[in-house]
Amino acid sequence: MRGSIDGLGSSAPIGAMLPAVFADDDLAQRFVGGLDDVVAPIHGVLDCLDTYFRPSLAPLDFVQWLGSWVGAETDGTEPEPLLRAAVAAAAYLHRIRGTRRGLSEAIRLTFGVEPEIAESGAADWSARPLGPVPGEARPRLHVHLRLPAPTAADHHRLDTLVAAARPAHMPYTVQVTAATSAERTPSP
């Protein structure tokens, strides 16, 4: 919550800008001093405006609003570091949306875990016309996520995220399972 801060000085005091005749006028200086107290938070925000648009530095409530502004795939339940990372990466994710890499990165930023993705698509090149078409005839996408303590909410969140970030024509399935003890413990 932002507002006035006791003792915050103005970066542009009005009293110094008054004509010389008011420089020694106590009433005029106290009057504009009160205005300085009201305007000082506005000057403070404007002086530091660029930091409000950096997710790593902005206040948390502003980062949440900024996430809705840039279309970050968040639902408000993410821990603060993941929320800040998702908002910072939103523009990049929009560029690679609909690709395997884009889907994997969106899931990693949301859950903090790398997903396993199986898909039917493929790409190939041939010097001969009418060569075999790569991939499978029926499109499919399966996303498997291993979490330390999965819940039904995690499955719903993954389903929502995959539905939004997958290629539009691709039917999909999602699976959330508990990670094994070897997957939970980082190796040395």
Q: Which residues on adjacent β-strands are paired with residue 145?
A: 176
Question: How would you class 120 by CB atoms within 10 Å of its CB: exposed for 0-12, middle for 13-18, buried for 19 or more?
Answer: middle
For residue 41, is pLDDT > 60? yes
Question: What is the pTM for the complete model shown?
Answer: 0.65
Q: Is residue 87 located within the same domain as residue 160?
A: no
**Closest among 128, 135, 176 to 155, alpha carbons compared:** 176
Q: What per-residue confidence (pLDDT) applies to 143?
A: 96
Does the residue 20 lie in any domain? Answer: no
Report the candidate in 138, 147, 137 with the shortest Cα–Cα distance to residue 174.
147
* CB-based burial, 72-102: b 16+ in 10 Å, e otherwise: bbbeeebeeebbbbbbbbbeebeeebeeeeb
Residues 41, 88: one domain? yes
Same structural domain, 74 and 44: yes
| CA separation for the pair 119, 49 (Å, rounded) | 44
pLDDT of 119 strictly over 70: yes
Q: Is residue 11 part of a domain?
A: no
Confidence tier at 56 by pLDDT (50, 70, 90): very high
The residue range of the domain holding 169 is 100-123+136-183
Are 76 and 143 contained in the same domain? no
How would residue 110 be classed by pLDDT, with cut points 50, 70 and 90? confident
109 with 79, same domain? no
pLDDT in tens, 65-96: 999 999 888 887 888 998 999 999 998 999 99
My answer on whether 45 and 107 are in the same domain is no
Whichever domain contains 147, its CATH number is: 3.30.300
138: left (phi over 0), alpha (psi -120 to 50) or beta: beta
Amino acid identity, position 64 = Q
What's the confidence (pLDDT) of residue 2? 56
Do 90 and 105 belong to one domain?
Answer: no
* Residue 17 belongs to some domain of the structure: no
User: pLDDT of 2-39, one tens digit each?
Assistant: 555 666 777 788 888 888 888 888 898 888 888 887 88
Residue 188's pLDDT is what?
45
Residue 74 sits in the same domain as residue 107: no
Residues 81 and 117 occupy one common structural domain:
no
Q: Are residues 116 and 174 in the same domain?
A: yes
Query: If you count them, how many residues does the chain have?
Result: 188
14 domain residue, yes or no: no
Is residue 110 located within the same domain as residue 79? no
Is 162 inside any structural domain? yes
Residue 13 has what pLDDT? 82
Asked if the structure places residue 145 within a domain, the reply is: yes
Q: Based on the structure, what is the number of domains in the chain?
A: 2
Q: What percent of the chain is helix, strand and coil (3-state, nearest 5)? A: 45, 10, 45
Residue 21 lies in a domain: no
Chain-wide mean pLDDT for the chain?
85
Looking at the fold, whether 178 and 165 belong to one and the same domain comes out as yes
Give dist(CA 87, CA 74) in Å, integer. Answer: 8
Could you identify the residue written with the tokens 């395997």?
100
Please check whether residue 171 lies inside any domain of the structure. Answer: yes
Identify the pLDDT of residue 183: 59
